Each structure stands twice: as structure tokens, then as C-alpha cells.
């Protein structure tokens, strides 16, 4: 392997430490404690693990965690009523509704009922529009984490060619917007893209957000490129999780690469905490935390 391994676990610990430091100062100087409300509907085991981790890390950085577990048969009206109450609660600065929701609930309707200023997942249509027009938004956590690692590793991203493989609303599209905001020349690839490998070989920054284990191999990578692997794939018969990139062959060619696990994954919750802190600062007219926003 020749590439530098970008250690997302260590980077995320650094982000959490910076969040905790600012939270402590907020408490001491202003008497304010940021609060994150997480809403889980139903009993999906993977979602329960995510929600538990989010709650644990929220408390560890000194914030208040409010968990709302609702039964799977909760009606849309009941869920919207809870969101209305959280929107109105001054102790709650961030609201996250864990997805996916049970089939009878309309996710778009529910997400768009969250006050955009408290939408720490950055999925509300207002935040999507603000990001797309280069205005101050709440930015989706996973792409924000990727951006932070890229800035840390490369410094300025200006003028670099970036290829984002994947065009989902939660990763691919916001990732492309953020890279554009940092003056990269951005191409978004997807399942209909022709000659993906050749396109990727033109990228100084290659972000893989596909959901196909080890699809991106070393022959997709420009020598010296920075490769960010967002993929989390569970494959029967293989232990642990696999990324969208074949790590060993990509690492032979890339200049730097994030591993799976231990790359982008840990940054997602760290950025959720950073977004909650940002939302709290904005709500109170205080300066935003430096280096923790887009
Ligand atoms: P989606 O399934 O919503 O989107 C996948 C995208 O990949 C689509 O745009 C699709 O194209 C594209 N794609 C599929 N097959 C190919 C192909 N053969 N060639 C090129 N493009 C292809 O996934 P998400 O964006 O939600 O997630 C992507 C990955 O990231 C998953 O592994 C997911 O688990 C992981 N993830 C990790 C997170 C973290 O915290 N680290 C957070 C969120 C996601 P098309 O639009 O044409 O169908």
C-alpha cells in the first residue's frame, strides 16, 4: 500500500472534542445546553443501535439527549404532533427523525414538518434549497464529514476535479454541492454513466457512495488521488462491513484513502453533534463553531 490511510475514527474523536469544548463554554458563559431530540418509530434493530449510539455520544459531549421511541403503528398525525412540540421547545436545538420510517408514514411530509433551523440531518427541502444556492444551510452529516476530512487532508480544494459516484439525496447530491461550494469541478456519476472507470480516472477527488461492495477498484483511480469511501455494505459470508472501494487495489494507486470501517462512518455522528451545536449557536445569535460547518 502506498496511500495515506485517512483515519476517520481519530478525526471524529477530534471533532467531538472540539464540540465538547464549545459546549462546556456555552454552559459556563451563557448557561445554555444544546439539546438533540431523536425520534424513532418502530423496532428496526439497526435503527435502534444507531439511535442508542447517537444518544450516548450526545451525552458524552455534554449536550442534552431527548429520545422519543414510538410504536410502529404510530399515526402520521401523532408523529406530526410530536414534531410540532419539539419545534416549539426551546431546550431542543436539533431534531432527527430516524429513517426509514414504517411504510404507512410519508417521510417527505414528516421531514418537512421539522423546523428547518432544527433540521440537523439537513434533509428539509429548505435546507436542500439553501445548500443548492450557496446559502447558509444545515448540511447533511455524512457529506459534511467527507468535506471536513478532504479539507483537512488537502487544504484548499479549489480547482480540483471531483467525481462523486452516486446521486442520492442524502449523500451524492449534497456531496457534489459541497465540493462545488469549495470550487471543485464536479461530475456526478450514477448507474447509467458510461465508462465509469475512465471518468473516475480523471478525478483528483473520488467519492464513492454507491452501495456496491468493492465496486471501485484500483483501475478507477488516478495516481495520487484522494479517495473517500462512503459505502457500508454487509455481505453474507464476509465478516464485518465492506466499502464501495476495493481497499487494497485502490490504496496502491491513490495518494490517500478512507478505510471501511473507520473512515467516513464515525464522522457521521460526529457531524450530527457539530450540526446540533451550530443550530444552538444560530438560535441564540452566537458565533458559529469554527471548522465544524460547511
Ligand atoms: P442509494 O442507493 O440511495 O444511491 C446509490 C447511488 O449509486 C445511486 O445514485 C445509483 O445510481 C448509484 N449506483 C448504483 N449502482 C451503480 C453502478 N453500478 N455504477 C454507478 N453508480 C451506481 O445509496 P446511498 O447514497 O443512501 O448510500 C450509498 C452508500 O453509502 C451505501 O453503501 C450506504 O450504506 C452508505 N452510507 C453510509 C453512510 C455513513 O455514515 N458512512 C451514510 C449513508 C449512506 P442511480 O441513481 O442511477 O440508481
Nearest protein Cα to ligand 1, atom 40: 265
The residues facing 133 across adjacent strands are: none
- Domain limits for position 112: 30-121
Domain boundary pick from 121, 149, 165:
121
Count structural domains, the chain: 2
H-helix segments, 163-232: 172-181, 196-200
- Percent of the chain residues topping a pLDDT of 90: 98
What are the catalytic residues? Answer: 54, 98, 121
Nearest protein Cα to ligand 1, atom 6: 166
Q: What sign does the CA torsion over 57, 43, 38, 115 have?
A: positive
Ligand 1 atom nearest the C-alpha of 215 is 18
Please indicate, yes or no, whether residues 145 and 112 belong to a single structural domain of this protein: no
- Percent of the chain residues topping a pLDDT of 70: 100
Q: Is 280 left (phi over 0), alpha (psi -120 to 50) or beta?
A: alpha
Say if ligand 1 is within 6 A of residue 20 CB.
no
What confidence score (pLDDT) does residue 238 get? 87
Q: How many CB atoms lie within 10 A of CB 81?
A: 12
CATH classification at residue 179:
3.40.50.720
pLDDT band (50, 70, 90) for residue 239: confident
Reading the block at residue 294, the C-alpha cell is 460547511
Please indicate, yes or no, whether residues 117 and 152 belong to a single structural domain of this protein: no
Please indicate, yes or no, whether residues 149 and 260 belong to a single structural domain of this protein: yes
The answer to whether 200 touches 216, Cβ cutoff 8 Å, is yes
CATH classification at residue 112:
3.40.50.10860
What confidence score (pLDDT) does residue 49 get? 92
Distance CA 102, CA 26 (A): 37
Please indicate, yes or no, whether residues 208 and 114 belong to a single structural domain of this protein: no
What confidence score (pLDDT) does residue 242 get? 97
Residue 150 lies in a domain: yes
Residue 282 lies in a domain: no
Please indicate, yes or no, whether residues 107 and 158 belong to a single structural domain of this protein: no
Amino acid at each position: 500500500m502506498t496511500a495515506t490511510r485517512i483515519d476517520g475514527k481519530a478525526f471524529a474523536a477530534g471533532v467531538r472534542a472540539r464540540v465538547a469544548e464549545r459546549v462546556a463554554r456555552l454552559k459556563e458563559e451563557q448557561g445554555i445546553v444544546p439539546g438533540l431530540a431523536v425520534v424513532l418509530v418502530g423496532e428496526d434493530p439497526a435503527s435502534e443501535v444507531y439511535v442508542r449510539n447517537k444518544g450516548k455520544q450526545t451525552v458524552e459531549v455534554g449536550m442534552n439527549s431527548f429520545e422519543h421511541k414510538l410504536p410502529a403503528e404510530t399515526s402520521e398525525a401523532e408523529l406530526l404532533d410530536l414534531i410540532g412540540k419539539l419545534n416549539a421547545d426551546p431546550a431542543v436545538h436539533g431534531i432527527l427523525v430516524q429513517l426509514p420510517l414504517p411504510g404507512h408514514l410519508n417521510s417527505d411530509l414528516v421531514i418537512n414538518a421539522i423546523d428547518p433551523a432544527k433540521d440537523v440531518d439537513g434533509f428539509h427541502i429548505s435546507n436542500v434549497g439553501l445548500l443548492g444556492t450557496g446559502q447558509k444551510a444545515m448540511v447533511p452529516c455524512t457529506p459534511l464529514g467527507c468535506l471536513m476530512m478532504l479539507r483537512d487532508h488537502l487544504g484548499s480544494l479549489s480547482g480540483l476535479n471531483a467525481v462523486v459516484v452516486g446521486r442520492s439525496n442524502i449523500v451524492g447530491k449534497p456531496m457534489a454541492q459541497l465540493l462545488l461550494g469549495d470550487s471543485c469541478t464536479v461530475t456526478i456519476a450514477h448507474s447509467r454513466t458510461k465508462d465509469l472507470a475512465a471518468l473516475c480516472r480523471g478525478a483528483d477527488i473520488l467519492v464513492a457512495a454507491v452501495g456496491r461492495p468493492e465496486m471501485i477498484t484500483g483501475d478507477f483511480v488516478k495516481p495520487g488521488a484522494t479517495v473517500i469511501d462512503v459505502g457500508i455494505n454487509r455481505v453474507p459470508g464476509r465478516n464485518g462491513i465492506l466499502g464501495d472501494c476495493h481497499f487494497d487495489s485502490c490504496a496502491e494507486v491513490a495518494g490517500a484513502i478512507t478505510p471501511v470501517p473507520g473512515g467516513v462512518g464515525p464522522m457521521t455522528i460526529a457531524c450530527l453533534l457539530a450540526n446540533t451545536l451550530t443550530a444552538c449557536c444560530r438560535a441564540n445569535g452566537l458565533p458559529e463553531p469554527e471548522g465544524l460547518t460547511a
